[in-house]
Amino acid sequence: MISEIGFGAAFGFVESGSDVGGLIQGFHDGLPAFGLMARLYPFTNWVKNTSFGEKYLVAKPEDESGIGTLMRFRDKLIAERQRDIAAGKTISRTDLLQTFLDARDEEGKPLEMDYIKAEILLVLLAGADTTGTAFQGMMYYIMSTPGVYETLMSEIDDATRAGHLSEMPQYDEVVAHCPYYVACVRETMRLSPSAPNIFPRLVGKGGMILEGKFVPEGTEVTCNPWLVHRDPAICGEEPDAFKPERWLESEERTRLLNKYNMAFGYGVRICLGKDIALMELYKAPLQFFRKFRPTVEKDHQGQFVVKGGVAFWNDMWITIDRRVRVA
């Protein structure tokens, strides 16, 4: 999905049934260094410019694995697009890559290529694997929690029979007519956020009062969504249990859960791809459940792994059977 939006074509993972170009493995391999560098501010600013940092900590396209794999793939995409433009080929659609190439600054000059490369790498890093992690989390919780799958499919099938869902479900349709499904998405991201990371902020000018104590200007403060999402004062009883019903309990409870939902970060630094990710999660998994009946193998139900502050699922084996079409 993100490859279509970002670059106008699918990477080919599904079609080939493989990790194309080692992109997924490269992303996972690069997470420890990524997480380390992200947590060592302001030391990071200094060390990355040393010979040690440049050699061992800063990713480069020449690296055989890790983020270097994604950087080479990014450079290939940009080079291919530039060749197409130079050859006079018509770009039939506007994707993120073309938007960056066409963009001009206040003086009418193109964006610097280093900036474009950084933005495209961010799309590759943040836009694909994290949403896939949420989809896998939904699979794990929905199929392993008694009664959830049956309740979910009853809602989806009823909405389909009533004509509330298009052949390809639309975002507004799902929000309006599938509240239990939406609750499943939210509950999954509450329990297993794709970035169960700390989100550090620097205290602004003049300092601040936090829990009755003065915090000086420039101090790093942070909190962790993994912990916040399990606070009984916010989510109610059994904070570690998968209970989509908690999102439907009352308007007051829903407002409280949404207020302290940090699955996409918080405040002015909230994930810029949040709307795209929710569009994907409100449509694609629902369509999958409409058409297929998954069965998760008992000995391979999945393991939630956190590396460098980013999460993904390992060892999840699923058998898929086509469902009978609901008229």
- Together in a domain, 200 and 143: yes
Residue 48: strand, helix, or coil: coil
- Looking at the structure, tell me whether residues 157 and 294 fall in a common domain: yes
pLDDT confidence tier of residue 323, bands split at 50, 70 and 90 = very high
Lowest mean pLDDT among 70-79, 97-106, 183-192, 276-285: 70-79
> What DSSP line would sit under 59-117, residue for residue?
--TT-SSTHHHHHHHHHHHHHHHHHHHHTT----S--HHHHHHH-B-TTSPBPPHHHHH
Query: Which residue range is the domain that position 95 belongs to?
Result: 2-127
pLDDT of residue 67: 76
In this structure, is residue 247 part of a structural domain?
Answer: yes
Taking the C-alpha atoms of residue 235 and residue 215, their distance in angstroms, rounded to an integer, is: 28
Domain's final residue, options 82, 107, 127:
127
Task: Note whether 199 and 288 are same-domain residues.
Answer: yes
- As a whole number of Å, the end-to-end CA separation of the chain is 28
Same domain, 138 and 286: yes
Higher pLDDT, 6 or 258: 258
Question: In this structure, are 261 and 118 located in the same domain?
Answer: no
How far apart CA 96 and CA 77 sit, in angstroms, is 12
On the question of a cis peptide bond just before residue 200, with omega within 30 degrees of 0, the verdict is no
Burial of 229 (0-12, 13-18, 19+ CB in 10 A): buried
Provide the domain count of the chain.
2
Give the count of alpha carbons within 13 A of 223, CB side only.
14
Q: Is the pLDDT confidence value at 38 over 80?
A: no
In a shared domain, residues 110 and 156: no
- 138 and 259 share a domain? yes
Q: Are residues 174 and 245 in the same domain?
A: yes
- Tell me which of 94, 127, 160 is where a domain ends: 127
Q: Determine, yes or no, domain membership for 14.
A: yes
148-161 and 179-191 helices, crossing angle to 10°: 140
How much is the pLDDT for 33? 80
- Domain final residue pick, 105, 127, 149: 127
The CATH code of the domain that includes 149 is 1.10.630.10
Residues 161 and 257 in one domain: yes
Domain-located, residue 327: no
Say if residue 143 is in the same domain as residue 205.
yes
Choose among 69, 119, 280: nearest CA to 194.
Answer: 280
One domain, residues 163 and 296: yes
CA 213 to centroid of chain Cα atoms: 35
Q: Which of these, 113, 88, 229, 242, lies nearest to 180 by C-alpha position?
A: 242
The average pLDDT across 26-46 equals 81
Asked if 289 and 226 sit in the same domain, the reply is yes
Q: What is the pTM of this model?
A: 0.86
Q: What does the pLDDT average to over 261-278?
A: 86
Specify the higher pLDDT residue, 112 or 65.
112
21 in any annotated domain: yes
Q: What is the pLDDT of residue 154?
A: 97
- pLDDT for residue 109: 93
